[in-house]
Amino acid sequence: MADFKTLVAHCKEYGFVYQSSEIYDGLSAAYDYGPYGVELKNNIKRYWWEAMTRLHANIVGIDASIFMAPQTWKASGHVDAFNDPLVDNKQSKKRYRADQLIEGYAEKVLAKADKEVTKAKKRFGESFDEAQYRSTNARVMGYQEKADAALKRMNDALGAGDMQALYDLIVELEIADPESGSREWTDVRQFNLMFSTQLGAVAGEAGKIYLRPETAQGIFVNFLNVQKSTRQKLPFGIAQIGKAFRNEIVARQFIFRMREFEQMEMQFFVKPGTELDWYARWKATRMQWHRTLGHPESKLRFHDHENLAHYANAAVDIEFDFPFGFRELEGIHSRTDFDLAAHQELSGKKLQYFDAETQESYVPYVVETSIGCDRMFLAVMSHALQEETVPDADGKDSTRTVLKIPAPLAPVKVAVLPLLKNREELTSKAAAVFDALKLHFPCQYDEKDAIGRRYRRQDAIGTPYCVTVDFDTLEDDTVTVRDRDTLEQVRLPIAEVAAHVREQVSLEQLLAQLV
Ligand code: ATP
């Protein structure tokens, strides 16, 4: 796996992601997707969308507007409670999230425990039992307890909305500004993450509306519309992909944390009492969706929430091992009837389901799966980008940079390359092959530079297949098809290329592994 700096540079150089408004020195925490980036992102969205709506007869999609009636955010709790605890360092004037400072402290303490474990592993060799060592070695246990205690106090303080307790904890743990080393902190205060703007010509509070901080509420307020117009019976789900906006306090990790980002959310409506069963099923289903992309087991893990929101009765994150460590990629939450009941109360409109079996009306419970499209993009890219040593055309070792993106997600599926640029019979034949293939897949035609350099360019954008048109092609209508990952080249009749490629690049072959 490439380091983070290399990854960010690669994204820019090869047209995947650019800083927003770069010519004006950029806008912080906003990014633009380039020509290959948008294709990869669209393919990720399609993989998610089809896995939800095509594979499940009882999941349907919607596309709600970003602006919603402002009461929506009152009912959902976002106006009053969608806050992050903010703290400034007095000396450096840098702004931080108090919880992230404390988590950073805990991570450092745990890293010391890991160091002890690594040392012991070396000392004991083969016979080393890590689990036993962690549960018996006094020093390791001490570090673990110290980190756990800090996180528990933090979670309690967050749960109670007690900003003074967070401040006290930062002072007590002697946490210093990671940049300046200063320990002079301001009070911790709540900062609401919603962006607001004005609606039409109405001035002041009356015209204040919000940019949605999550897509889920567009689903909740449409629950009955969808249920009635599609005649769904419980359990059923509504899926949506769309932009969300959060005025994040600290956003320094490229597209991992942005102020404008995209979510893929699915709310699954179930009969009360069955939600924990569905929660377990969705956990498994979502993990399988990730694993099917070929991410190794060691890169994905579940992380249960220690501190449940008051309306949730179970919540877990799927974490991915990004270049900067394990972080949340997706959340799965059992949200009870909190949202529907709150909207029902504030709007005065019934949001109930009539259960024909039991002849009762009730507010359904909800299990949601919520994943950031941009974080998924980063996960795919960070796993795919590799440097490897491979034999070049003369059989000598050379290094290549390759994006091993799962073929169904790759931006370009096939590159068509005439062996030489200055031979009209080759270029016109290659152009004809390109014209035939472009009807089936996103293709590229490239005739510039030596063939080896063209292969490297395609490797760098993750193209799974390169089709080369040479002099034999003119004789027998066959071409060589080079595989990005194995570098194997097979000779195939032109008429068979599409079928050969389709087997590997079609989304259907991923979907087939999910059913
Ligand atoms: P975090 O703890 O990292 O701030 P969260 O718990 O607030 O995330 P959720 O509200 O559960 O996130 O949102 C669901 C998903 O949306 C997350 O798992 C993540 O993939 C994505 N997401 C949330 N905030 C951002 C952001 N600022 N930039 C990009 N993606 C985001």
Residues paired with residue 192 on neighbouring β-strands, in sequence order:
83
Residue 167 Cα to ligand 1 middle (Å): 24
Could you tell me if the CB of 278 is within 6 A of ligand 1? no
Ligand 1, atom 26: closest residue by C-alpha: 257
pLDDT at 286: 98
Q: Please enumerate in sequence order all residues whose Cβ is within 8 A of that of 71, keeping only pairs 6 or more positions apart, or say none.
A: 346, 347
Q: For atom 3 of ligand 1, which residue has the closest CA?
A: 328
Atom of ligand 1 nearest to the CA of 372: 20
Q: What is the pLDDT of residues 233-279, one digit of tens each?
A: 999 999 999 999 999 988 889 999 999 999 999 999 999 999 999 99
The atom number, within ligand 1, closest to the CA of 213 reads 10
Distance separating alpha carbons of residues 333 and 285, to the nearest angstrom: 14
Q: What digits encode the pLDDT tens for the residues 168-212?
A: 999 999 999 988 899 999 999 999 999 999 988 777 777 899 999
For a mutational test of ligand 1's pocket, the pick from 192, 263, 290, i.e. the residue with the most ligand atoms closer than 8 A to its C-beta, is 263
Give the closest residue (by CA) to ligand 1 atom 10: 214
Question: Which segments of 304-357 does DSSP mark as H helices, in order?
Answer: 338-347
What are the angstrom distances between the C-alpha of 311 and each of 31, 194, 335, 481? 33, 20, 6, 55
Closest ligand 1 atom number to CA of residue 330: 18
Q: What is the DSSP letter of 236?
A: E
What's the longest Cα–Cα distance across the chain?
81
DSSP string, 31-67: EEE-HHHHHHHHHHHHHHHIIIIIT-TTEEE----SB
Question: Is the distance from the beta carbon of residue 382 to the nearest atom of ligand 1 less than 6 Å?
Answer: no
Q: What span, in angstroms and rounded, lies between the C-alpha atoms of 259 and 266?
A: 21
Contact (Cβ atoms closer than 8 angstroms) between residue 290 and residue 136: no
List the chain residues with pLDDT less than 50.
none
Q: Which residues pair with 468 in a beta bridge?
A: 417, 480
331 lines ligand 1 (CB under 6 A): yes
Is the preceding peptide bond at 364 cis, omega within 30 degrees of 0?
A: no
DSSP helix/strand/coil, 16: coil
Testing ligand 1's pocket by substitution, the residue of 41, 193, 328 carrying the most ligand atoms inside 8 A of its CB is 328
Predicted pLDDT at 393 = 67
Does any ligand 1 atom lie closer than 6 A to the CB of residue 248? Answer: yes
Closest residue CA from atom 13 of ligand 1: 370
Helices and strands per DSSP (H, E), number in the chain? 18, 23
Three-state secondary structure of 376-412: HHHHHHHHHEEEEEEECCCCCEEEEEEECCCHHHCCC
pLDDT at 411: 98
Q: If you take atom 20 of ligand 1, which residue's CA is the nearest one?
A: 372
Is the beta carbon of 374 within 6 A of some atom in ligand 1? Answer: yes
Strands 489-493 and 478-483: antiparallel
The alpha carbon of 454 is separated from its chain's Cα centroid by a whole number of angstroms, namely 31
Give the residue whose CA is nearest to atom 29 of ligand 1. 257
Burial bucket for residue 420 (CB in 10 Å: 0-12, 13-18, 19+):
middle
E strands within 224-307? 236-245, 260-270, 300-304
Residues with Cβ within 8 Å of residue 199, at least 6 apart in sequence = 67, 207, 208, 209
Please choose from 84, 194, 261 the residue to mutate so as to test ligand 1's pocket, defined by most ligand atoms within 8 A of CB: 261
Distance 372 CA to ligand 1 centre (A): 6
Among 217, 239, 222, 230, which residue's Cα sits nearest to residue 56? 239
**Cβ atoms within 10 Å, residue 476:** 10
List the one residue out of 110, 120, 90 whose CA is nearest residue 188. 90
Pick the closest to residue 285 from 511, 130, 87 (CA basis).
511
Cβ-Cβ contacts under 8 Å for 284 (sequence gap 6 or more) = none
Cα 426 to ligand 1 centre (Å): 51
Token code pair at residue 257:
């944390």
Long-range contacts of 22-31 (CB under 8 A, 24+ apart): 28/251, 28/259, 29/248, 29/251, 29/257, 29/258, 29/259, 30/258, 30/259, 30/260, 31/254, 31/255, 31/258, 31/374
**Ligand 1 in contact with 370 (CB < 6 A)?**
yes
Return all residues near 192 (Cβ < 8 A) that are at least 6 apart. Answer: 79, 82, 83, 247
Q: How far is the CA of 7 from the centre of ligand 1 (A)?
A: 21
Q: What are phi and psi of 35, to 5 degrees?
A: -55, -40
pLDDT at 394: 74
Question: Which pLDDT does position 1 carry in this prediction?
Answer: 67
Q: Is 329 in the pocket of ligand 1 (CB under 6 A)?
A: yes
- Tell whether ligand 1 has an atom less than 6 A from the beta carbon of residue 286: no
The model carries a pTM of: 0.91
Q: Which residue puts its alpha carbon closest to atom 19 of ligand 1?
A: 372
Question: What string of DSSP letters covers 424-476?
Answer: HHHHHHHHHHHHHHTTTS-EEE--SS-HHHHHHHHHHHT-SEEEEE-HHHHHH
